[in-house]
Amino acid sequence: METRKLGRQGLTVSALGLGCMGMSDFYAGRDDAESEATLLHALDRGITFFDTADAYGPGRNEELVGRVLGPHRQKIVLATKFGLVRDPANPQSRGVNGRPEYVKQACDASLKRLGMDVIDLYYLHRVDPKTPIEDTVGAMAELVKAGKVRFLGLSEVNSETLRRACAVHPIAALQSEYSLWSRDPEDGVLQTCRELGVGFVPYSPLGRGFLTGQFKRFEDLPEDDYRRHSPRFQGENFQRNLKLVEHIDRLAGQKQCTPAQLALAWVLSRGQDVVPIPGTKRRKFLDDNLGALDVKLTKEDLAAIESIAPPGVAAGERYPTAMQGFLQTDARKETR
């Protein structure tokens, strides 16, 4: 397995990570036995980078990942997140908490659920608009000093916030959505990461599964699947985005790979400091994703991909209105 470095502080991970969210939340068809098998299969296939969060489940995903991967602790790099708060009485309700006193509380709770003594990469899931980023990162830095966390990360922040955070403590990685239909980081964040020596971790590099071609109709989404509430999966947006998938499928056929492999190969081609974390809870999809590492894109391939998936190609916002408000970007592209 190829490895890549995140940041300048010595964090090295597999070139492809595994996002674990869907094993416990948001996406339908959960199966703990298959999820456990998928985690172990990922380890056998050379994946060392595993991503979870306290909001997934909530809490259940950390428990799952910790239970299965805990016995293999020395072989893995474990990333988790805090700051996105869910109301137990109303799971659909979201809030953000980046207050310094909450940082230590959240970390201790995650360590307990994971059954581990240290978190390798600890992210702020979303920026708390009521708390200066300097205060939040300052509290996170205290966790590093206490030996509870090895490296720090941020998620969905703009360049200004990233600069302010780095002035307090080195940031190893920035995690944001990035794929053929979500290219906001190219507005400046990617450049800022490279200037500051921050690695970049794309989540949802397969467009929440849409870019794989597995969804042909809105009705293909199970009733309890989060994506039914995602603007890009609804109405006219779904049909317009389906055209993009058809183009990807055509190019994948020419490369003799699957649409998922083509989409992931494109993300991997963005730089050696980019480590995508496609999520899956099934071994067969994990193996398909890993095949992207063998897909080599030529200049002609990249030009062809750019012609069908330029920035702003996706129809619809990335999130429902309430969650969209938690995102920071350097610039805002109009969706078509």
Read off the pLDDT of each residue in 229-257 and give the average, rounded to a whole number. Answer: 90
Determine, yes or no, domain membership for 317. no
Determine, yes or no, domain membership for 70. yes
Determine, yes or no, domain membership for 323. no
Determine, yes or no, domain membership for 69. yes
Determine, yes or no, domain membership for 26. yes
Give the per-residue pLDDT at 92.
58
Cβ within 8 Å of residue 247, ≥6 positions away: 308, 309
Residue 185 has pLDDT above 70, yes or no: yes
Mean pLDDT of the chain: 91
Tally of domains within the chain: 1
224 vs 85 pLDDT, higher one: 85
Lowest pLDDT segment from 73-82, 90-99, 124-133, 198-207: 90-99
Give the per-residue pLDDT at 93.
63
Q: Quote the domain boundaries for residue 50.
A: 3-209+270-295
Read off the pLDDT of each residue in 66-81 and give the average, rounded to a whole number. Answer: 97
Distance CA 124, CA 291 (A): 31
160 vs 224 pLDDT, higher one: 160
Closest CA to 49 of 261, 269, 201, 262: 201
Q: Is 56 a catalytic residue?
A: yes
Distance CA 314, CA 296 (A): 25
Residue 316 has pLDDT above 90, yes or no: no
152 vs 219 pLDDT, higher one: 152
Q: Which tens digits make up the pLDDT trace of 17-44?
A: 999 998 987 766 788 999 999 999 999 9
Give me the percent of the chain exceeding a pLDDT of 70.
93
Question: Which member of 56, 122, 178, 203 is catalytic?
Answer: 56
Read off the pLDDT of each residue in 179-196 and give the average, rounded to a whole number. Answer: 95
Determine, yes or no, domain membership for 9. yes
CATH code (residue 14): 3.20.20.100
Determine, yes or no, domain membership for 236. no
Residue 100 has pLDDT above 50, yes or no: yes
Determine, yes or no, domain membership for 173. yes
Q: Which tens digits make up the pLDDT trace of 273-307?
A: 999 999 999 999 999 999 999 999 999 999 999 99
Confidence of residue 322 (pLDDT cuts 50, 70, 90): low
CA separation, residue 50 to residues 38, 39, 68, 155 (Å): 12, 9, 12, 16
223 vs 245 pLDDT, higher one: 245
Torsion of CA 47, 51, 56, 59, to 10 degrees: 90
Confidence of residue 234 (pLDDT cuts 50, 70, 90): confident
